[in-house]
Amino acid sequence: MCETHTAVVFFVGDRAYKVKKPVDLGFLDYTVCADRRAACEREVALNRRFAPDVYLGVGEFRGPGAEESEPLVVMRRMPAGRRLSRLVREGAFVDDALRAVARQLAAWHAKAPRGRDVDEQGGRDALAGRWEASFAQVRTANADGSVPDGVPEAERLVRRYLTGRERLFDARIEEGRVVDGHGDLLAEDVFCLDDGPRVLDCLEFDDHLRYVDGLDDAAFLAMDLEQLGAPQAAAYFLTLYGEYSADPAPPSLRHHYVAYRAFVRAKVSLIQARQGAPGARSAARRLLSTTLRHLRTSAVHLTLVGGLPGSGKSTLAGALADRLGVTLLSSDRLRKELAGMPAEQSAAAGYGEGLYTPEWTARTYATLLDRAAALLACGESVVLDATWSGAEQREAALRMAARAEADLVALHCRVPGEVAAARLSTRPPGASDAGPEVAAALAAREPPWPEAVTVDTSGSLEAAVSRALAAVRPWGTDQAPVFRRPYMEPD
């Protein structure tokens, strides 16, 4: 047998029998037998969506002299050696099992019930409410009123992310991404059988806690895999889920949901620690560390990569965007687009002439910032490749980032004059039209940029990228797994 805070499970032969405890825990009340029976029936009905051949039905037993029979869930017994959690701990190959679970979860989400009640739980405000409730519970978990390390930073990062991302969550609802899901997807409850996985024990006592964004549902298992010491398996599973569900969610949202699931587990561990459970406090610290890693990585940021022609800014901007897995926008390409020209077609002109008049430049930068603002609102971090030689352009970027609740980092590429001149003289035709004369005119008028981080690009590209990464992600090596956008074939 095994026991949880709400049930006792008896294993007999090839069957498992789950009896609800007659307890009132506030969030559920099983003190009345009729309510226990209803809970058993609900558990069987909901779990048959994922494992119909495991949940056999509701049975009952009656003790001598008992006035009424006691209901219990009757299940097919699963082999303990095939638990996903055990296989991961043993270092077994689980890629095929994760692929099957991702496919099964995405298939259920595709047909899962939807509706206004479900949608309401997937909105930004509903998620913010769940976060705030958890923050409040964590603050009361310690008898002395102290707040665990990392919680204030988590609160700040969560509020900043959610405040600026209303458009993202509205779009998720419009796309039908919020579903009646599993709600409690743990590796302990996934059994990897030869004929496919069996996913057990969905959340049945509160429908609202099961009404989640499908990505949030999948993030639960990703978080659990990470806690089992398999961060690459976690990233692999989320990528597979994204492919099977055709979900183009930004990496920031994936990290945010993993952070939310880790924080809920941390909250439970803190409560257990207060009750004297061994190892609970260290588990809470580990889970809070996971929460912070993912929240820091999920922070939406706007990176300005500027510098004079020949400074290597475009090369650095492209390499940095690739390394971070974020969107790159280039003023050179946008300027040509606005003029209806191919990016590679030359529009060379003297300083302040042709497509480089103050009016054209103002239009280019305004459009660049408008596009970046739309991306930031949808959870996409952005690298902006432009000269950024005007103070008014830098100030406009700062104001836009503040409105979008995005972190702004400015990188100023610098090289010795002879290096820039050599690059400009040998540069093949491309989106940039600036030559040595234009570069000299810009240099004579460029104002100081003290708030920018100077990046010397005269050395190796890798050294410049490392310097840039240190500015964009100053927390160093304590980073979450990389969640790449899933590859999906075009329609």
| pLDDT tens, N- to C-terminus, the chain (491 residues) | 998 878 999 999 999 999 999 998 888 899 999 999 999 999 999 999 999 999 999 999 998 888 889 999 999 999 999 999 999 999 999 999 999 999 999 999 999 999 999 999 999 999 999 999 999 988 887 767 678 889 999 999 999 999 999 999 999 999 999 999 999 999 999 999 999 999 999 999 889 999 999 999 999 999 999 999 999 999 999 999 999 999 999 999 999 999 999 999 999 898 888 878 899 899 999 999 999 999 999 999 999 999 998 899 999 999 999 999 999 999 999 999 998 988 788 777 777 777 788 899 999 999 999 999 999 999 999 999 999 999 999 999 999 999 999 999 999 999 998 888 888 877 777 778 777 787 788 888 888 999 999 999 999 999 999 999 999 988 765 566 666 555 544 33
Question: Is 383 among the domain residues?
Answer: yes
Assess whether 150 and 282 both reside in one domain. Answer: yes
Assess whether 164 and 270 both reside in one domain. Answer: yes
Contacts of 393 by beta carbon, 8 Å cutoff, 6+ apart: 365, 386
Q: How many domains does the chain have?
A: 3
Q: Give me the domain span that covers residue 406.
A: 301-472
Assess whether 136 and 174 both reside in one domain. Answer: yes
Residues 271/375, Cβ–Cβ less than 8 Å: no
State the amino acid at position 288 in one-letter form.
L
Question: Is 337 among the domain residues?
Answer: yes
CB atoms within 10 A of CB 184: 16
Assess whether 165 and 195 both reside in one domain. Answer: yes
Assess whether 69 and 95 both reside in one domain. Answer: no
Assess whether 184 and 282 both reside in one domain. Answer: yes
Find the Cα–Cα–Cα–Cα dihedral 97, 98, 104, 108, rounded to 10°. 150
pTM passes above 0.85: yes
Structure tokens at 130: 């769940």
CA nearest 55: which of 21, 83, 18? Answer: 18
Assess whether 86 and 183 both reside in one domain. Answer: yes
- List phi, psi (to 5°) of 165: -120, 30
Whole-number Å distance between alpha carbons of 468 and 306: 12
Whole-number Å distance between alpha carbons of 75 and 44: 9
Assess whether 56 and 87 both reside in one domain. Answer: no
Which SS3 state, helix, strand or coil, does residue 13 take?
A: coil
User: Is residue 216 left, alpha or beta, with left meaning phi > 0 and alpha meaning psi from -120 to 50?
Assistant: alpha
